[in-house]
Amino acid sequence: MKCKKCKTKAVIGLPRHNAAFCKPCFNEFVHDQVARAVKSERMFGPKDRILVAVSGGKDSLALWDILLKLGYRADGLYVDLGIAGYSARSREKVERFAETTGKRHQATLLIHTVQEEEGAGIRELADLVNRPTCSACGTIKRYQFNRAAVDHDYDVMATGHNLDDEAARLLGNVLHWQEEYLEKQGPSLPASVEGFAKKVKPLYRLAERELAAYAVLNRIDYIVEECPMAKGSKMLLYKDVLNRLEIESPGTKQSFYWGFLDKQAKAQPAPVSMAEKDQATLHPCSLCHQPTTAEICSYCRMMARAKAGSLR
């Protein structure tokens, strides 16, 4: 297989683009896809301070690496969830990346430890509130990322969600007609109210396999093992189904998700409408002052239930 651009030996084939690339041309392709995402969705500018949510996995470390190499001011935030063994191993990957690549670009790493802040790890908290671990984890991470971005005055918070993540999530939402979630599935969500950070997904144009290839080719040491909590998750099933379609018909994932974004952009010309809706429905949580639709936000409710549960 030859590189489509420079005709030397290719290291990866990309059937969805009817292309193959050598390492330098593949890196250029990846950087270009991120630059296009940032520009077309007006995610951030060269002067903005970006907080990247890093897990130790390939996507978030690749994202941090790409943003730094593109010259952006990007720091990292790692939330230690206290999952036995797995959290320590993933944290080590993040810390090593921060000490090498991060340091070279004057980037810093923030670390939040759920165990220290709430007195229990994610598994124990989920048990106490009787919720599936992944759902409790989602609430905790969203809350922690948003609060850190706001407290430390970052202009925007970036996550490593890729094309496969977004297409799988869209499939799940459509299968269950969860229309209320569709509106929030764009790659750029505004800071609609006080206390809400702007949130962006600069990797939505890149497939999961492409990001793993980027990490391997650029010697980014990431955690290959799967989170022990994710076993049997619906997301894995949706991703598998989409990848089977992708093999038969390359480009299926991008036409599904990007097609959805196109339709959404045409149907709702004003991103203002989401901001207006948020402004009408969100107000500060009476306990922690983060935005919520309820009197007390879901994070504080969860922690209150966890504390009540632990006293029983």
Q: Which stretch binds another protein (CB under 8 A): 67-75, 221-229, 262-270, 277-285?
A: 221-229
With tokens 């980014």, the residue in question is 220
Task: Provide the mask over 125-144, with x wherever binding to another protein is found by CB under 8 A and - wherever it is not.
Answer: ---------x----------
Task: Provide the mask over 192-211, with x wherever binding to another protein is found by CB under 8 A and - wherever it is not.
Answer: ---------------xxx-x
Separation between Cα atoms, residue 197 and residue 218, nearest integer Å: 31
Cα 199 to Cα 43, 146, 187: the distances in Å are 8, 9, 8
13 near another protein, rule: CB under 8 A: yes
Shortest reach from residue 250's CB to another protein, in Å: 9
Shortest reach from residue 53's CB to another protein, in Å: 11
DSSP string, 83-95: -TTHHHHHHHHHH
243 near another protein, rule: CB under 8 A: yes
Radius of gyration of the chain (CA): 20
Token pair listed for 304: 């209150």
Q: The dihedral of CA 200, 202, 206, 211: what is its sign?
A: negative
Shortest reach from residue 20's CB to another protein, in Å: 7
Burial class (CB in 10 A: 0-12, 13-18, 19+), 266: exposed
165 near another protein, rule: CB under 8 A: yes
- ∠ at Cα 110 (46, 114), nearest 5°? 135
57 near another protein, rule: CB under 8 A: yes
Q: Please, which residue, 33 or 192, has the CB nearer to another protein?
A: 33
Q: Please, which residue, 24 or 309, has the CB nearer to another protein?
A: 24
Site of interaction with another protein (CB under 8 A): 1, 10-13, 20, 55, 57-59, 134, 164-165, 207-209, 211-213, 216-217, 219, 224-227, 230-231, 233, 235-236, 239-240, 243-244, 246-247
